[in-house]
């Protein structure tokens, strides 16, 4: 079955789906995106993802390309046309097509919208979760506005590749103070020896992950101890457990950091419990 993409008002087979060479997304990475989990054919936390999309667009002064209810129809229709039961839906909005010029086009053009959807292999994700994964640490060399979910992801691409080159699956960025900010495409968490779940506050240095936000609700509701504060690489090495969160991985245990085993080198009890609990606290649409 050929995959179908939504591109500026049309549903097209991928081989025919393309954007203009002067799209500002292509030329300047002048655009934003969202990734939502699809589970049982439904979107997970669409409302929060759309709220973050609006925020990212506002920060970059890109207009919302269509009202949110219309965008919701496109997201669901793309999932349906690709027959995605469990997987992801990807939405990208750029400032649109204009002659190459750094300043915003005047008059303002219309934003470009692309939506794709794909299946994820449920069984292999569960296998990874039961094995746990390795991460490496790398210096955080990104710009300060990582709170915007921009498609400008080159440092993240290079960090992720550095991880893969070392047989790891994720790279954790580390700031000038030796504190972990977040993963190349996920938020970072540890569980301390005395059972506190620790993650960096979302005020500075990280993307406010939707999975992170929902998991904070889950942690409170499940009566776990929580500390929203930065943590150092040394603390991560000494942690009892570690894990990452993202729409594509939900809660994924980390069992090695820079080659050192985390705790006993196996997925932790709290990470596993939170992975199981997560969808009880998520919204489905």
For the annotated catalytic residues, the residue numbers are 149
Shortest Å, Cβ 215 to ligand PDD? 9
CB environment 191-202: b (16+ within 10 A), e (fewer): bbeeebbbbbeb
Three-state DSSP class for residue 135 = strand
Question: What is the 8-class DSSP label of residue 223?
Answer: T
Task: Output 95 or 212, the one with its CB closest to ligand PDD.
Answer: 212
Cis peptide before 264 (omega within 30 of 0): no
Tell me how far, at minimum, the Cβ of 67 lies from ligand PDD, in Å.
Answer: 22
Cβ atoms 229, 277 nearer than 8 A: no
Torsion of CA 169, 174, 180, 182, to 10 degrees: -50
Q: Where are the alpha helices (DSSP H) in the chain?
A: 24-28, 46-60, 68-81, 122-131, 154-165, 210-221, 233-238, 269-281
Please say which residue, 82 or 97, places its beta carbon nearer to ligand PDD: 82
The C-alpha atoms of residue 255 and residue 244 are separated, in whole angstroms, by: 11
Closest to ligand PDD by CB, 111 or 155: 155
> Nearest approach, Cβ of 173 to ligand PDD (angstroms)?
8
Question: Between 27 and 181, whose beta carbon lies closer to ligand PDD?
Answer: 181
Of 240, 226, 177, nearest in space to 204 by CA: 177
| Rounded least distance, CB 85 to ligand PDD, Å | 19
- In 3-state terms the chain splits into helix, strand, coil percentages (rounded to 5) of 30, 30, 40
Query: What's the closest the beta carbon of residue 36 comes to ligand PDD, in angstroms?
Result: 8
Collapse the DSSP code of 51 into the 3-class scheme (helix H, G, I; strand E, B; otherwise coil) and give the result: helix
User: Which residues form the interface with ligand PDD (CB under 6 A)?
Assistant: 35, 156, 182, 185-187, 207, 209-212, 245-248
d(CA 276, CA 250): 10
Closest CA to 231 of 203, 267, 265, 192: 192
In the complex, what is the shortest distance from the CB of residue 194 to ligand PDD, in angstroms, rounded to a whole number? 26
Judged by beta carbon, residue 112 or residue 245, the one nearer ligand PDD is 245
Q: Which is nearer to ligand PDD, 72 or 248 (CB)?
A: 248
Q: What CA–CA distance (Å, rounded) separates 251 from 133?
A: 11
């Amino acid at each position: 079955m050929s995959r179908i993409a939504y591109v500026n008002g049309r549903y097209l087979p991928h081989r025919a789906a393309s954007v203009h060479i002067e799209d500002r997304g292509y030329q300047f990475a002048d655009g934003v995106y969202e990734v939502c989990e699809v589970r049982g054919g439904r979107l997970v936390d669409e409302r929060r993802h759309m709220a973050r999309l609006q925020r990212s667009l506002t920060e970059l002064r890109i207009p919302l390309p269509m009202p949110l209810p219309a965008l919701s129809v496109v997201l669901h229709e793309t999932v349906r046309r690709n027959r995605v039961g469990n997987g992801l839906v990807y939405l990208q909005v750029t400032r649109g097509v204009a002659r190459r010029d750094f300043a915003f086009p005047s008059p303002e053009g219309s934003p470009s919208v692309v939506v794709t959807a794909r299946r994820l292999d449920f069984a292999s994700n569960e296998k990874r979760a039961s094995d746990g994964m390795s991460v490496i640490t790398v210096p955080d060399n990104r710009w300060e506005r990582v709170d915007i979910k921009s498609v400008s992801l080159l440092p993240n691409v290079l960090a992720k590749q550095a991880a893969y080159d070392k047989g790891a699956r994720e790279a954790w960025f580390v700031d000038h103070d030796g504190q972990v900010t977040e993963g190349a495409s996920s938020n970072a968490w540890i569980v301390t020896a005395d059972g506190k779940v620790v993650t960096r506050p979302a005020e500075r240095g990280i993307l406010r992950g939707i999975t992170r936000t929902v998991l904070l609700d889950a942690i409170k509701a499940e009566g776990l101890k929580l500390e929203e504060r930065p943590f150092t690489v040394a603390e991560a090495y000494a942690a009892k457990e570690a894990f990452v969160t993202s729409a594509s991985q939900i809660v994924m245990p980390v069992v090695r950091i820079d080659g050192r085993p985390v705790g006993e080198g196996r997925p932790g009890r709290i990470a596993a419990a939170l992975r199981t609990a997560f969808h009880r606290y998520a919204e489905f649409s």
